[in-house]
Amino acid sequence: MEFSDRLKNLPPQFFATLVQKVAKAVAEGRDVINLGQGNPDQPTPDHIVQALSTAAQSPLSHKYSPFRGINELKQAAVDFYSREYDVNIDPSKEVAVLFGTKIGLVELPLAMMNEKELMLLPDPGYPDYLSGVGLANVQFDTMPLLEENAFLPDYKQLTPDQKEAARLMYLNYPNNPTGASATLEFFQETVELAKENDIAIVHDFAYGGIGFDGKKPISFLQAKGAKEVGIEMYTLSKTYNMAGWRVGFAVGNSKMIEAINIIQDHLFVSLFPAVQSAAAEALNGSQECVEDLVALYEKRRNTFIEACRKIGWNVKAPEGSFFAWLPVPNGYTSEQFADILLEKADVAVAAGNGFGKHGEGYVRIGLLVDEDRLIEAVDRIEKLELF
């Protein structure tokens, strides 16, 4: 039997390869400090778990969910955006419930684009954006995210042909992998570009709850006219430590939301109603757990960055997300440096080139272990005398 051409066109799963390398080292009995993962290490807050338990006991949760999700979750998303960002959303037309935002990001090119049409992607960027490219058999060009431009794309570098051909653009701030944040001015510039060139915008707001130094991350929908050109996808995985629950939502442009809903009508019968009720509780309930989580990540960030600088590693502190984007020492590629850290220091990091051509020269680390393990990781790296 043969795989379909569509399946053959899919890129290798970058994170699966990374997991295999770490698993092999652990199987050899080595004490690996895994800073390469993006999996939150804290438990889901108790009040959310309790909401799931209560909802799961209701016979109503044992039936099929409405195809497009329960009203309770859609209204919670509306209330959340009103409270957090002062953005008005119509629950009947401008919300789509998602099995986590990864599925939305992968399925949207199938729903919005024809084969061989062009989409624009950030580089470096979340590798699974390319899964949507492969499944939809569309073309893509990348927008370099460079340190000298605060890891924001420079739209002046887009050619007239690219602007004319592009149908869809993905952005992601706070950014994975760089930890950079966007400004309202940048999002306003994005809206104007989209209007002038008929480009639909998708803002992947996965780390929207995690901003440092007292600065709250900005929603793309806060830019004037944003709903006319795009949507924002929000996952509960990071803000509420619900990665395994697979729940998120998209909000914004009604045409794009309808495209998501139509394709999902054919793929799913929405997700377990009890999970949706628990997600509504996360969005509507006390946000003290989010404040505590951000404080935890910020403390870890400060500890790790300070330790790196003490050994001569010239690194910059991320502005948001739970990642840090670190330059590799002179004379090494990203992959060489990552392999050396794993083989000689038992420290796992994600090589920057796995996130795109412009990720070369960096590694990504996750602030997803305790502070003492972060310090120990830097101590191990110091012994390699690479800095």
Task: Using DSSP bridges, classify how beta strands 200-204 and 230-235 pair: parallel, antiparallel or unpaired.
Answer: parallel
The model carries a pTM of 0.96
Cβ atoms of 181 and 215 within 8 Å: the answer is: yes
Distance (Å, rounded) from C-alpha 72 to C-alpha 77? 9
Report the pLDDT averaged over residues 353-369. 96
Q: What is the pLDDT of residues 63-110, one digit of tens each?
A: 999 999 999 999 999 999 999 999 999 999 999 999 999 999 999 999
* Domain identity same for 84 and 225: yes
In a domain, 51, yes or no: no
Mean pLDDT over 195-219 rounds to 97
Q: Are residues 323 and 217 in the same domain?
A: no
Could you tell me if residue 53 is inside a domain?
no
pLDDT in tens, 220-259: 999 999 999 999 999 999 999 999 999 999 999 999 999 9
For residue 37, is pLDDT > 90?
no
With both helix axes pointing from N to C terminus, report the angle between 71-85 and 273-284 in degrees, rounded to the nearest 10. Answer: 20
Please enumerate in sequence order all residues whose Cβ is within 8 A of that of 53, keeping only pairs 6 or more positions apart, or say none.
none
The residue among 284, 305, 322 that closes a domain is 284
Residues 183 and 292 in one domain: no
Question: Which structural domain, as residue segments, surrounds residue 178?
Answer: 63-284
Where among 235, 266, 284 does a domain terminate? 284
- Verify that 302 and 264 share a domain, yes or no: no
Q: Are residues 232 and 129 in the same domain?
A: yes
- CA neighbor of 107 nearest in space, from 248, 316, 300, 298: 248
Domain end position, chosen among 262, 284, 306 = 284
The two three-digit tokens of residue 21, written as one number: 């390398």
